[in-house]
Amino acid sequence: MGKATGFLEYERKTGEEINPKDRIKNFKDFHGHLPKEQQELQGARCMECGVPFCQSGMMIKGMTSGCPLNNLIPEWNDLVYLNKPEQALARLLKTNSFPEFTARVCPAPCEAACTCGLNDDSVTIKENEWGIIENGYEMGLIKANPPKVRTGKRIAVVGSGPAGLAAADQLNKRGHSVTVFERNDRVGGLLMYGIPNMKLEKQIIDRKVNIMKEEGVEFIVNSDIGNSVKADKLTKEYDSVILACGASNPRDINVPGREGKGIYFAVDFLKATTKSLLDSNLADGKYISAKGKNVLVIGGGDTGNDCVGTSIRHGAKSVVQLEMMPKPPLTRAEDNSWPEWPKVLKTDYGQQEAIAVFGSDPRLYETTVTEFVLDKDGNVKKAKIVKVERKFEKNGAMSLVNVKGSEKTIDVDLVLIAAGFLGTQSYVAKAFKVETDQRTNVKTVANSYSTGIPKVFVTGDMRRGQSLVVWAIREGRDAAKEVDKALMGYSNLA
């Protein structure tokens, strides 16, 4: 251990972010990072505790505690402090296929479970991870390393999100020939079109994908398996097929006026903005503009926050965000003890920007929409909203009921539905003849990634439902190991 008393000597420190009023002028990453010398001191804060909860990846009360990838966090924190970048990079890459992604978009369940955070501020694990991987690129340590021997086995991966990319990367390293099919015009899936540029600039994805190409992974875009390309073509031509199409069905809301113009799913809004930004820096106008509009965002998760931040960058007149659940407390409640995921108030970048621009938090808690009011041309102009409260039955079941007298009407020109995702899209499941469960996730053989259909496996959100990027990477790696074992009789993949 490099600095036994580091957590007592140094305070937590992270890089400064660009001021909200300045960063909303563009779609660039606004996160600053510490210089190398200060990053080393942050690595020294790691306690190297006897039980490193940070890397546990446990599920506690249905919530993730610690890193699902079981990253060797105390080891590489120590190596950051000792200024051993090559060794730190080697330990990081042993468990994580894409630290350049997780260091930017992961909510850091590792930090929430950090032992140092029990009585003080947690270690800056996420920023240390960023430092390790970016130093690796800067030093030229990350470069293509194609397998020296090929097995002769061919594998098709359907979907190029984090799960598909992780599976492809691992199987290619093993020596199999891997082809990734992506229905969009760019590789990356959720990473490319589901996460805005200010959280993950797309050259970061391209940088890694280009290395994978040099290592032998083939990518075919504009290939919609189940539509433009028949599923049986893949099952006939490849030794194994891995479905990694994500949880692509956005959850809708069923209220009067839903058919009105100006009401969109959040995923369509975010994708259109990113595609137009990449194609023409928004000059082509092929996106859903929030400029000068009263925007209503329905949903309080990460996607809802992304809609808030994107709308403000468009130049929205106002933004209101509805959350059905109560406002979380500022600190952990007694029944939410460490190392559980902390159910506390989080004001993310979009809300911070709304506060800076409009003077108040855009979120209305315990509130839902009951009707959209349309004008004579069918355009949404107003929304009727109402407060809701939780009602618990004797059997413990919870329901939401409207609070009488709390109804109000607000002006609305653009509605973005960010109510989560339900599961896989039916046409893909039907094309491969795989079964889905009541949540529309693809069913698998118990404790397996096999669908029960010969050659066909499934991984990521398509299997487990909407989840985190870090879970998708773990799923992809685990699915790759199972496929490798099925093809070769054993696997040496981690």
In angstroms, the CA 135 to CA 412 distance is 46
Confirm whether 149 is domain-assigned: no
Query: What digits encode the pLDDT tens for the residues 338-357?
Result: 999 999 999 999 999 999 99
Verify that 73 and 111 share a domain, yes or no. yes
Cβ atoms 113, 123 nearer than 8 A = no
**What pTM was estimated for this model as a whole?**
0.96
Q: Please classify residue 232 by burial: count the beta carbons closer than 10 Å to its beta carbon, then call 0-12 exposed, 13-18 middle and 19+ buried.
A: exposed
- Spell out the SS3 assignment of the chain: CCCCCHHHHCCCCCCCECCHHHHCCCCCCCECCCCHHHHHHHHHCCCCCCCCHHHCCEEECCEEECCCCCCCHHHHHHHHHCCCHHHHHHHHHCCCCCHHHHHHHCCCHHHHCCHHHHCCCCCCHHHHHHHHHHHHHHCCCCCCCCCCCCCCCEEEEECCCHHHHHHHHHHHHHCCEEEEECCCCCCCCHHHHHCCCCCCCHHHHHHHHHHHHHCCCEEECCCCECCCECHHHHHHHCCEEEECCCCCCECCCCCCCCCCECEEEHHHHHHHHHHHHHHHCCCCCCCCCCCCCEEEEECCCHHHHHHHHHHHHHCCCEEEEEECCCCCCCCCCCCCCCCCCCCCCCCCHHHHHHHHHHCCCCEEECEEEEEEEECCCCEEEEEEEEEEEEEECCCCCEEEEECCCCCEEEECCEEEECCCECCCCHHHHHHHCCCECCCCCECCCCCCCECCCCCEEECCHHHHCCCCHHHHHHHHHHHHHHHHHHHHCCCCCC
Query: What CATH code is carried by the domain that includes residue 293?
Result: 3.50.50.60
14 plus 102 within the same structural domain: yes
Residues 17 and 102 in one domain: yes
pLDDT at 1: 59
Instruction: Judge whether residue 48 has pLDDT over 90.
Output: no
- In this structure, the answer to whether residues 373 and 296 fall within a common structural domain is yes
68 within a domain of the structure (yes/no): yes
For residue 396, pLDDT over 90 is answered with no
Which of these three, 354, 388, 417, is where a domain ends? 417
256 assigned to some structural domain: no
With a cut of 70, say whether residue 2 has pLDDT above it.
Answer: no
Identify whether residues 223 and 340 lie together within a single domain: no
Inside any domain, residue 86: yes
Domain boundary among 96, 114, 138: 138
- 157 pLDDT exceeds 70? yes
Give the range of the structural domain holding residue 71, as residue numbers without chain letter: 6-138
Contact 182, 213 (CB under 8 A): no
At 398, the pLDDT band (50, 70, 90 cuts) reads: confident
Is the predicted pLDDT of residue 70 greater than 80, yes or no?
A: yes
Residue 283 neighbours by CB distance under 10 Å = 9
Residue 257 lies in a domain: no
pLDDT of residue 374: 98
Residues 459 and 367 in one domain: no
Residue 318's CB: how many other CB atoms inside 10 A?
17
384: exposed, middle or buried (Cβ count in 10 Å: 0-12, 13-18, 19+): middle
Percent of the chain with pLDDT over 90: 94
Residues 343 and 360 placed together within one structural domain of the fold: yes
In a domain, 145, yes or no: no
Q: Are strands 398-402 and 367-374 parallel, antiparallel or unpaired?
A: unpaired
Looking at the fold, whether 276 and 387 belong to one and the same domain comes out as: yes
What CATH code is carried by the domain that includes residue 31?
A: 1.10.1060.10
**How would residue 491 be classed by pLDDT, with cut points 50, 70 and 90?**
very high
* Same domain membership, residue 268 and residue 396: yes
Q: Mark whether 349 and 431 lie in a shared domain.
A: no
Is 54 in contact with 74 (CB distance < 8 Å)? Answer: yes
Under a CB-based contact definition with an 8 Å cutoff, are residues 206 and 98 in contact? no
Note whether residue 494 is domain-resident: no
Domain finish residue from 365, 386, 417 = 417
pLDDT > 90? residue 469: yes
Number of domains present in the structure of the chain:
3
Radius of gyration for the chain, computed over Cα atoms and rounded to the nearest angstrom: 23
Average pLDDT, the chain: 96
373 and 282 fall within a common domain: yes
pLDDT tens sequence across 89-136: 999 999 999 999 999 999 999 999 999 999 899 999 999 999 999 999
Q: Is 63 domain-assigned? A: yes
pLDDT tops 70 at residue 72: yes
Domain shared by 68 and 10, yes or no: yes
